[in-house]
Structure 1
Amino acid sequence: MSRTVRLRGVGPAQAGGAEEGVERVPATLLTGFLGSGKTTLLNHLLSHPEMADTAVVINEFGDVAIDHLLVESAIENAVVLQSGCICCTVRGDLVDTLTDLLAKRASGALPFFSRIAIETTGLADPASIVQLFVAEPLVAKRFRLRAVVTTVDAVNGAGQLDAFAEAGRQVALADLLVVTKSDIAEPGTAAALVDRLSRLNPGASVLAIEQGRLSPDALFGAVPDTLETGGAVGAWLKADAFEPADVGGAGSGRSAHGNDIRAFALETSRSISAQGLKRWLGSILSLRGAALLRMKGLVKVEGLDGPIVLHAVQHVLHPPLRLARWPTADATTKLVFITNGLPAAGLLASFEAFCQEDRAGGDD
């Protein structure tokens, strides 16, 4: 049992969630670096009959939408955003496109669709699109982000992670990592990449595929349901997959060589007031949000029988949930982070500092 809880003043981009009584359309974001096999995977997925009710939004950077020509299925429901990257220059066009798709579905101008797939360019930063589903009222009220799926090339992926920050961010934001071209990679290369991806993003599931072959059942089965649709907290958080941060030493959890992206978990038995939590979130999201690639967690709040569930991507906090009871025997705060150069010791110290705040003023 859960209900939405508003924490006012936590950051600049709180949209307010879904309209009451309106079922939001689930959206899957398909991202991955240049040449990683996104279009091949999308084309194969859409060849399955169970994807016939899927609307497709394709972002092609350039004047000729070649990717659109390669997507052979669901053409009636395909929309192409051209001459810009979906995460920046055409971000407003994406908002217009999503709302227009709903209007055309309602009028019968488009066949009925029950979900949406959005393919980005290889250079897109998925964080801004994830934020759009939370922070843009026109989108947040009618759509929910089901999952971020990131393709990683088994042949070139390791080098791309070393050389390009975008590749690392795409991995960090993923709910599901799909390793492509494992059939043509050198022996052991794909396995080494899977190990590295698991260190970069311990909370994501990893699948290795060949020639883009992945069924919708396998794809969606590898992604846990969101909490708002009844997903289990443990499967969503995956706290056990994250190594505890060594806050006393120089290290800050697990990292992959060649970049500053680190994944770690923090745990504390201390509780925090609702006001202190609001202030802490406001502080880290506004001051260090750019380095906070992703945060998930259960927080022990004074006076509540269950935890507050948090999920943030950079500067944007998803609407927090209040659980009626703790899903685990130990009622302790557990937070998992994927950061870019953000030290674990500082995060834990800041949280505990707000736990000690004078709470005499109460909540705003």
Structure 2
Amino acid sequence: MNQNNMGKQGIGVTVITGFLGSGKSHFIRQLLKQPNAGQIAIIVNEIGQVGLDHLIYRHLSAQVALLEGGCLCCQLHADLSQTLRELFMLAMQKKIPAFRHVIIETSGLADPSAIVFTLKHDFFLKERFYNAGVLCVVDGCHAEQQQQDNPEWLSQLLAADVILLSKEDVCPEKLPDLKSRINALAMGVPVVSKPDLEETEDIFGVLATLKQQGKQKLAAFGTRWQAAGRQTLKPQVSHTDVDVITLTLGQAVKRGRFIAALDAMTKKYGTALLRMKALVQFVGDEHFYHVHGVHNQRSSFEILDIEPQERGGITLCVVLIIKKGYWEDKDRAVFS
């Protein structure tokens, strides 16, 4: 255990939050490439019925758990508690490698303050785990639009102990205004650049230090937290209304046609398309590819390292998260 956590008993839990497409998964992957990554367990929360992010992590960490179908800040508190219990007991029984830290990646629509509340008030958890901080990843390109349209963006920011700016190299012209806005909203919370954290050898020690530096938060957050504390383990939150559309592909597709279909969705739905993820195989190519996007930005296709014995359980699909009321079901035919 690093010197910044001396005196802490149990296993540290770091919550990584941020709106849809902000760059949470990419940052976690960088953490899992560090020398001590084997001591980290990952819990992934995805909305929708098909989880994809855990496929990216599971070849980087032996301890990956998926919570799918809802938001941790809403109906999945019992699942989170049970998952942490199971990971703890599996490690005690030496059925999985021992771990000294847990990362919880929330869905892009979750309010992380409810997770912190669960860690504090669940008796089994608080005896064995401690809150090692909330890191909020803020999208340097789309933050202004996300703040205006989605109440979760502000909840995530105000719950943060550390704020991490992503995509600084993509939209550098937006950074001065964004940093001023963040400072006005989350006064006293440290704001760091992605390369600064990715390059450190003691990421959790740095986060612990930054958390101590940022204890002076908005009074508004303190009031909101006290109100949440008087409720049950399920504080009421406001959500962006979305439809989660899962399109199962069933078989390999032609690369050009698939790209054209993605472009058609982006053009038609514009800013109403909050997030896109896909796991796909192309005709004549045995590899599995992962691609994701936010609004009109799309990543390149990335090969996933899927073992032969795992291939039978993989679902080829496209997952679209779209503002409620925009989706037209006839568009399923675009990917057929």
Q: In which range does the TM-score fall when normalised by the shorter chain? A: 0.5 to 0.7
Cα 1:57–1:313, aligned 2, differ >3 Å: closer, same or farther?
Answer: farther
Tell me: CA distance 1:220–1:165, structure 2 relative to 1, closer, same or farther (3 Å). farther
- Quote the residue 2:119 is aligned against: 133
Residues 113 and 225 in structure 2, CA contact (< 8 A), matched pair in contact too: no
Distance (whole Å) between structure 1 residues aligned to residue 111 and residue 52 of structure 2: 21
Measure the CA separation in 2 of the matches of 1:105 and 1:72: 17
Match of 1:152 in 2: 138
User: Which whole-Å CA distance do the structure 2 matches of 1:100 and 1:129 have between them?
Assistant: 17
Structure 2 vs 1, CA of residues 225 and 90 (structure 1 numbering), >3 Å: closer, same or farther? same
> Which structure 2 segments of 5+ residues have no match?
1-6, 231-336
Instruction: Look up the match of 1:176.
Output: 162
**1:84 offset after TM fit, Å?**
1.4
For 1:213 and 1:225, locate their aligned partners in 2 and report how far apart those are by CA, in whole Å.
15
Amino acid at match of 1:104: L
- TM superposition shift of 1:236: 5.3
Query: Which of the residues 221, 232, 236 maps onto 2:206?
Result: 221
Distance (whole Å) between structure 2 residues aligned to residue 294 and residue 159 of structure 1: 26
Q: After TM superposition, list the pairs within 5 Å mapping 1:55-70 onto structure 2.
A: 55-70=41-56
Question: Does 2:101 match 1:115?
Answer: yes
- In structure 1, the partner of 2:173 is 188
**Following the alignment from structure 1 to structure 2, what is the Cα–Cα distance between the partners of residues 125 and 37?**
17
Distance in 1 between residues matched to 2:73 and 2:31, nearest whole Å: 23
- 2:222 aligns with 294
What does residue range 1-364 of structure 1 map to in structure 2 within 5 Å?
Answer: 23-71=9-57, 73-185=59-171, 187-209=172-194, 213=198, 215=200, 217-218=202-203, 220-224=205-209, 235=213, 237-238=215-216, 263=218, 292-294=220-222, 314-316=227-229
Q: Counterparts of 1:81 and 1:149 in 2: how far apart (Å)? A: 19
Q: Are 1:180 and 1:210, in contact at CA under 8 Å, matched by a contact in 2?
A: no
Whole-Å separation in 2 of the counterparts to 1:192 and 1:178: 15
Structure 2 counterpart SS, 1:33: coil
- Structure 1 residues 177, 48: CA separation in 2 closer, same or farther (over 3 Å shift)? same
Matched-pair contact (CA < 8 Å) for 2:8–2:130 = no
Alpha-carbon RMSD: 2.8
Residue 72 of structure 1, CA deviation: 5.1
The residue type equivalent to 1:99 in the other structure is R
Which amino acid in 2 is paired with 1:171?
L
SS at match of 1:86: coil
Q: Which residue of 2 aligns with 1:360?
A: none
Residues 27, 216 of structure 1: alpha-carbon distance in 2 compared, 3 angstrom cutoff = farther
For the Cα contact (< 8 Å) 2:16–2:105, is it kept in 1?
yes
Question: What's the TM-score, normalizing by structure 1?
Answer: 0.56
Q: Relative to 1, partners in 2 of residues 1:208 and 1:191: Cα closer, same or farther, differing over 3 Å?
A: farther
Cα pair 1:182 1:210 within 8 Å, conserved:
no
Cα 1:54–1:222 change in 2 (3 A) is closer
Residue 62 (structure 1) shift: 1.8
Residue correspondences, number: 225
Q: Aligned to 1:147, what secondary structure does the other structure show?
A: strand
**1:149–1:176 contact (8 Å) kept in structure 2:** yes
Is there any run of 5+ residues in structure 1 with no aligned partner, and where? 1-20, 243-262, 265-291, 296-310, 318-364
Aligned residue for 2:36, secondary structure, equals helix
Provide the secondary structure at the position in 2 that maps to 1:89.
coil
3-state SS, counterpart of residue 221 of structure 2: strand
Distance 1:38 1:73 in 2: 17
Overall identity of the aligned pairs, in %: 28
How much does 1:220 deviate?
A: 3.8
Q: Deviations over 1:300-332 (max 9, x none)?
A: xxxxxxxxxxx9554328xxxxxxxxxxxxxxx
Check the 8 A contact 2:162/2:214 in 1, yes or no. no
Amino acid in the other structure paired with 2:176: A
Change (3 A) 1:46 1:22: closer
SS at match of 2:62: helix
Partner deviation per Cα, 1:216-270 (whole Å, 9 max, x = no partner): 53564144377xxxx6xxx3534xxx7xxxxxxxxxxxxxxxxxxxx35xxxxxx
